[in-house]
Chains A and B, each alone.
Chain A
């Protein structure tokens, strides 16, 4: 036993000396999982998108830390008067990465733009079916319907014509699925009969060059010295794939990573108390809500909808289910999105008022209804069943008897699209930071038929506002229209707006210039290490 103890001590000393710390400006990010692909067109999950961000650029991009769209690979753009033609002037002298498999012979030009967009648009494109041919974002943002044609007017000019005016189009272009891949690389791979390599060994124009990926272990990048844009001072960027949140926290404490994603809520207090660590938070780009199907009685009655708004004690849900890591929502869009109407007055928790309203509606003795509770966990609704039970108890207090119902997730999605429900829990995580992506997608009249308007509420005033806002590209005017729309929404109360979950990140104190992306990605393009 003595020998064992002695051995352990000697070993410990030996280890201390050898515990290697990497040299130079290496930035290690402890991520939570492995990417599904390195092609931004093929993925829609945050883990994969984070791994893709360092490599690629789009024609336009979101200004870091905001949802404002700014030029990127396009130096500038013009929009025709009828809002149907977008002309992009491409940046000159932009280089693609040189990797083990590829050495570019020319700079970025219009061919690359056409290749990247047509691969997704054209079912007969030679690369369309590579990697499964499922372009989730391109399809769900309906880009196939919006885009009429894409033309290269000259090597530095691309003209995109739309089928109808669509203001969020520019924000869609800033999303990763519209990033620009190298056509020259694609041609080389096609000639070598290795097309699928394009999604595995990415070549882009971004601030970091992809080096290697060891499944389940790490992804490595080096800084791209010929990067066209502004970048930080990191030489090597490493993603250390660490699925366990507690372990990520420990790795941050020992300095094995400089940045961790999604620390576990139970670790937050300890991290905040650590002098070497800083913790930041921001409201997520999401909304959790309870939709009331206005085509079903008694939810067609505004008084009833308002009564339910007054009857639910949302603060108690946030304390019990989110452990305080969420904010009460008063609008259908999160406060990080431009046009958020902070002047709106929320319905406060007031069961007496709820009873009073029910009495006015002729339902003094209450009524019975079904509530569908979400079967899956989402940031805006981590525990649908518990949330349902708490709401059930609150509503019982004002005389409304709730029966909780749930289905497996595909059935839940399919049945709710046809409007079989009365009350239903739902939520949304934004895609492109455009208010249209929330207000029109979830509350517009066209979305009733499309199935994503779960309260099936079609209000002419509201709809006119959001449809008009979609047609104009003037941000100031759009802001005004959306603010008005939010006021109509609140007054008509088709939902109970529940929460925006809070997103946390933790990093070493020597990490500077990191800005939380409202769209939820971890982007290190401009990060510096001191």
Chain B
């Protein structure tokens, strides 16, 4: 067991190191220069440029920079943003709740719709319903987020006027930050006294479109997973037995099959969280959602190396941790897996 955890930990560290290295190299390959950003390109003085470059540590060879950076991260210091001059971790912390809120709602929305659809497709296997649902889910999976987001804005915000175009809450509400999750903060007693439920309602409205856009790909994945998992379970002997006993079909599906079919779905859900966090980068940019995705894009356009590196690193940590957790859940759910994993 100790060996297993040791191996897992080593895996995680190597993955993180690899991701950090690739990110570190890639951003240095992108044309653009954080030094110019710092000193300004008007009347650029080569001496001042060299000095600023040295101050940022960018005058050293890339391997040296990388080793220094890793050392710094190992000590828990993600560096300071070139643009805002505040600690990368603080910048991240401030924006992360917005991304978490959006991701959770998106995942909730995806699950709520995907599982019933997947079951329907499995039960009505090879009928029009099945083909239609799976065809649609394939289309959903292939949808470019940018296009999809703008299309929804055009239909629901511009044409129908049902939802706001972008942002997190109507601009007239000043909700003090407690948890950072607006759905919770807007229910605090002081806001409820002043505004009633209007602020909460506004936050919810603002969540709808981005959550749909962000949830679309996971929805497609989960629906397809549900369908195949159900098909497998529905073919089992005990289901045939249940049916032979004369149980109603609803009972067979929702009581007997559902539980067993759920196991792979739950793991898919956990893995989708990674897709969602990274998908948030595009969704947040379209919907002006002040989370980490939008922050990373802004950092990229301003070539804020420490912010990009730090942001990518923390996201990588989150995804690696989630994946490891899923592996561990597997073992708990199915002890036979342990042997396979230990090899």
Contacts and interface: CB of A to CB of B under 8 A. Distances in A.
Interface string B284-300: 01111011001101100
B268 to A, nearest CB: 22
A344 interface: no
Interface string A237-250: 01011111011001
Contacts of B40: 44, 134, 136, 140
A409 B41 contact: yes
B6 interface: no
Best-surrounded residue of B43, B170, B287 (most CB of chain A within 10 A)? B43
B288 A242 contact: yes
Interface of B: 31-33, 35-36, 38-44, 46, 49, 83-85, 91, 94-95, 113, 150, 153-154, 157-158, 160-168, 170-172, 174, 198, 201-202, 205, 285-288, 290-291, 294-295, 297-298
Contacts of A34: 298
Contact of A250 (B113, B154, B174, B205): B154
Nearest to B175: A214
Contacts of B95: 215-216
A273 interface: no
9 tightest A-B CB contacts, nearest first: A216-B290, A136-B40, A217-B290, A15-B162, A140-B42, A140-B43, A251-B165, A242-B288, A22-B172
Contact of A253 (B32, B158, B170, B290): B158
A408 B38 contact: no
A244 B286 contact: yes
Given A410-B33, A410-B35, A244 B158 contact: no
B122 to A, nearest CB: 16
A203 B309 CA distance: 34
25 contacts: A15-B163, A18-B201, A18-B205, A20-B198, A23-B172, A26-B172, A33-B298, A140-B42, A215-B95, A216-B291, A216-B294, A218-B167, A218-B171, A240-B171, A240-B288, A242-B166, A243-B298, A244-B166, A247-B165, A247-B286, A254-B157, A254-B161, A254-B165, A409-B33, A417-B46
B148 to A, nearest CB: 13
Given A217-B290, A410-B49, 13 more contacts: A12-B162, A15-B163, A18-B202, A20-B198, A134-B40, A139-B43, A242-B288, A247-B150, A247-B166, A250-B150, A254-B165, A256-B164, A409-B32
Contacts of B205: 15, 18-19
B123 to A, nearest CB: 14
A251 B147 CA distance: 17
B113 to A, nearest CB: 8
A241 B205 CA distance: 18
A124 interface: no
B330 to A, nearest CB: 33
A28 interface: yes
B294 A243 contact: yes
Contacts of B158: 250, 253-254
Given A33-B298, A216-B294, A220-B171, A19 B286 contact: no
A247 B153 contact: yes
A36 B49 CA distance: 20
Contacts of B113: 4
Contacts of B202: 18, 20
Interface of A: 4, 11-12, 15-16, 18-20, 22-23, 26, 28, 33-34, 36, 44, 131-132, 134, 136-137, 139-140, 212, 214-218, 220, 238, 240-244, 246-247, 250-251, 253-254, 256, 375-376, 408-410, 413-414, 417, 431, 450, 452
Nearest to A13: B162
Residue in B198, B285, B290 whose Cβ sees the most chain A Cβ within 10 Å: B290
Best-surrounded residue of B42, B83, B164 (most CB of chain A within 10 A): B42
B31 A250 contact: no
A218 B35 CA distance: 28
A211 B85 CA distance: 22
A450 B38 CA distance: 21
A408 B39 contact: no
B31 A375 contact: yes
A164 to B, nearest CB: 18
B33 to A, nearest CB: 5
Contact of B287 (A22, A214, A247, A376): A247
A136 B164 CA distance: 39
Contacts of A139: 43
Contacts of B46: 414, 417
A23 B163 CA distance: 18
A450 B49 CA distance: 15
Contacts of A450: 43
A409 B39 CA distance: 14
State the main secondary structure of chain A at its contact with B. Answer: mixed
B318 to A, nearest CB: 20
Contacts of B163: 15, 19
A346 to B, nearest CB: 29
A452 B167 CA distance: 43
Contacts of A417: 44, 46
Contacts of B167: 217-218, 240, 242, 256
A432 B158 CA distance: 40
B285 A244 contact: yes
Contacts of B295: 216
A23 B295 CA distance: 31
B290 A215 contact: yes
B297 A243 contact: yes
Contacts of B164: 19, 254, 256
A237 to B, nearest CB: 11
Contacts of A238: 171
A338 to B, nearest CB: 22
A240 B171 CA distance: 8
A246 B151 CA distance: 11
Contact of A410 (B36, B150, B174, B287): B36
B159 to A, nearest CB: 10
Contacts of A26: 171-172
Contacts of B94: 215
Contacts of A247: 150, 153, 165-166, 286-288
A16 B35 contact: no
B85 A131 contact: yes
A246 B95 CA distance: 24
Contact of B170 (A22, A134, A214): A22
A134 B154 contact: no
Contacts of A23: 172
A250 B38 CA distance: 34
Contacts of B294: 216, 243
B207 to A, nearest CB: 12
B281 to A, nearest CB: 12
B199 to A, nearest CB: 10
A212 B44 contact: no
Given A132-B85, A134-B39, A140-B42, A217 B170 contact: no
A243 B33 CA distance: 21
B171 A19 contact: no
Contacts of A217: 167-168, 288, 290
A246 B150 contact: yes
Contacts of A33: 298
B90 to A, nearest CB: 11
Contacts of B150: 246-247, 250
A16 B288 contact: no
A93 to B, nearest CB: 32
A19 B162 contact: yes
Contacts of B91: 215
A437 B162 CA distance: 50
A131 B38 CA distance: 12
A254 B158 CA distance: 6
Given A20-B172, A34-B298, A212-B174, A136 B42 contact: yes
A452 B202 CA distance: 52
Interface centre among B165, B174, B290 (most CB of A within 10 A): B165
